[in-house]
Amino acid sequence: MGFFSKLLGKEDEGQKALREAMQMIWKIVDDEKFQNTLLGDEMEALLNSAPAIDERPDGQGAFGLDQRNPIPVNGAIGELAYLSRLETNNGERMMFHRIGSINTIDVFEAVTYSGSGWFIFFIDLYHPRRSRKAPPGFRLANEPRQFSGFHNFCRNFPYDFADAKQASPEMLRMAYIPLGNVMPQMEKTAFTRPMSHKAKLDIVISNLSSRTDT
């Protein structure tokens, strides 16, 4: 809030604008109904026709880590909201990006901010709300979190975080975690995929039915 705003009696307007902006951010990152409205009528109708579940009843294998048991969420924004809220059992948050999809299942690659853990998540985005369940070894934060990943493939993940954020739709951009929180991690951490993760990526990529890097 600037000094001139106070003098000119515009403090209330500024606070109002700020409050509205904050409310908008909150709605983008947490309000599932609002998120669904952003997807367009057809998509919203499609999502609402699907069951609101935490886990598929016919899912096989580890929840979220096996493509046969994907995490139900509400559309592309629901994916961002879910994964941004996800943290390891040690409390480490993650950056993520979408590698592609295997039929209707989206595949995301994620890395902790410290670079110590690399993961692959399978997400089913055709549901009206996001799952309240976390994959084994992870937990969901109680509070909504600003977005820390992307629905697009990042060629130089995670080093191209700033570019990817810049390329995001303007409305979503304000819901992202500030670069000031991310860039110091980039500068001090060497993000190197471990051998097992590379092998997993190979398998997943060989199964992709669509991908965004080609």
Partner 1 sequence: MTRAICFNCGAKKFGAFTQCAACKATPSSQEQLETSMALCEHMHSSQQLGIFAEDIHQHRKLVFRPGVLDQAREALKDPQLVAMLGLVVKNANRDSPRPSSSPPRPSPAQAASHIKVRRDAPVTTDLHKTAFAILDVTTRDNRRRIVEQAEERSLSVDHELCAKARSELTNPRNRLSLEVTWLPGISPKRASAYCTLIRHDLDKYMSAAENEAPLVKSNLIAAALELFDADMDADDWASWIYQLASESDQIDAEDVLRLVNEDRAVAGFPLVSGPELVEEEVSNRRRYYKDAIKNAIDRLPTKRMIDVMTDVVETATLSGEEAAPLLIDELIDSYELGVRSFLEREADNVEKLIGSIRSSASNGVRAVTPLIDKLDRVIRNWDRVAQPIQVSMKSRGLEHDQSRRMALDVRGLGVDLFNEHQMLDQAERLTNLLRDVFAELPEVVNRLEEDSVAISNIQRDREKAQKQANDWVQEISFEGQIGLVFKDTLRISPNGVEWKGSRVALENVTGIGWGATRNSVNGIPTGTDYFIFWCDQHNVTRVQLNRETVYSTFIDKLWKAVGVRLLTEMLGGLREGKRYRFGNAILDDFGMELTKSHLFSADEKIKATWAELQIWNANGSLHVGKTNDKKAVLELPYQGANNAHVLEAAIRTKFKTGNPRLSSIFDD
Residue 98 is inside which H or E element, if any?
Answer: strand 94-102
Query: 36, 67, 74, 131: which one contacts partner 1 (CB under 8 A)?
Result: 67
Query: 65, 105, 125, 154: which one contacts partner 1 (CB under 8 A)?
Result: 65
| Interface positions, 166-195, toward partner 1 (CB under 8 A) | 194-195
| Residue whose C-alpha is closest to residue 123's, from 101, 149, 97, 145 | 101
Residue 119 is inside which H or E element, if any?
Answer: strand 118-124
Q: Which is nearer to partner 1, 66 or 160 (CB)?
A: 66
Q: Residue 58, interface with partner 1 (CB under 8 A)?
A: no
Tell how strand 71-72 and strand 118-124 pair up. Answer: parallel
Q: Which is nearer to partner 1, 44 or 109 (CB)?
A: 109
Number of residues in contact with partner 1, rule: CB under 8 A?
20
| Interface positions, 89-128, toward partner 1 (CB under 8 A) | 119-120
In the chain, the amino acid numbered 51 is P
Query: 6, 68, 132, 173: which one contacts partner 1 (CB under 8 A)?
Result: 68
Residue 179 is inside which H or E element, if any?
Answer: helix 179-188
Give the separation between CA 100 and CA 175, rounded to whole angstroms: 23
Q: Report the interface residues with partner 1, using CB under 8 A.
A: 61-62, 65-68, 119-120, 194-200, 202-206
